[in-house]
Amino acid sequence: MARSPLSDLEAKDASLRGGVSGRSVALNLLVSFRPEQWTKNVIVFAGLLFGRELFRFRSLAVTVAAFGIFCALSSVIYIINDVADREADRRHPLKSQRPIASGALGSGVALLAAGIVGTAALACAFVLRPAFGMVAAGYLLLLVMYSAWFKHVVIIDVLTIAVGFVLRAVAGAVAIAVPISHWLLVCTILLALFLALSKRRHELVLLAGRAVEHRPILGEYSPYLLDQMIGVVAASTLIAYVFYTISPETQQKFGTDSLGLTIPFPLYGIFRYLYLIHRKEGGGSPAAMLLTDRPLLLCVALWAAAVVVIIYTRSGV
């Protein structure tokens, strides 16, 4: 009789627990900061790219600093979330390996470190630019509220995650004082919502009957409902991106009508992601999928390269 994916994951969990408990406090703290998830903060560079500031050293340096600040703030949120969810995470085949859930890292030490890192990051944000500091503080407050309340409210939970991505994009633009298109903000929130819904579906399918024990809000969803939502959001994301690339406002801003040539990349990227969700049981970690799935990574890299070529050669920047 074939073993279920959940049984395989539980076996792997048991074999790795010893390694988690054997790490030093510093290493467990670093793991809890989840540096592998920092790729989510790349959206901070959207303002630099579409604001045509990519090859201006000062703007690039400021954006790199803004990226680092958001990496620190997102790590603080991960710590807070892990502490709040430590009991539920112990019943999850993968999350039970996390240092806080496994007991390898004490909650008090983790929260102390999070407080120090969060305070330092916010201080740096306000020094970088007061307006950027305000957006960064708003992001931190929103995600703390998510950990405390919003993640327990159906639909609001995934919308909050999506708004967090929008605040990252806004912060990147505010940091270097460039305007950001409303179309790009719409695309950002829709794409983030697509990823958040996909993650909920992965959790629901992976944990099956034990899903509610791990995350009570999953009881409000079903695979069919999530598939319907994902279908709507995926289509809306593509339509929004198409309208952005062909809009007169965009053509006037960049001095070219060629941005529409990049449309095949998000088409393939979203279809590839849906394939990984439905055929490869992916979707649990968008950041991990981006880094481990070569076709998806190549698609994103080619899209970015095409945008740079079109915007910065056709507009003469």
Label residue 33 by pLDDT band (50, 70, 90): very high
Cα distance between residue 183 and residue 191, in whole Å: 12
Average pLDDT over residues 249-268: 93
Question: Average pLDDT of 259-286?
Answer: 88
* Residue 19 pLDDT greater than 60, yes or no: no
* Closest C-alpha to 210, from 4, 2, 1: 4
Is 14's pLDDT higher than 60?
Answer: no
For the cut 70, the answer to whether the pLDDT of residue 51 exceeds it is: yes
pLDDT at 209: 67
Among residues of the chain, what percentage have pLDDT more than 70?
89
90 vs 96: CA distance, rounded Å? 4
Q: How confident is the model at residue 284 (pLDDT cuts 50, 70, 90)?
A: low
Q: Are 300 and 195 in contact (CB under 8 A)?
A: no
Give pLDDT, residue 15.
44
pLDDT, residue 290, reads 81
pLDDT at 313: 85
Least confident of 38-47, 71-80, 200-209: 200-209
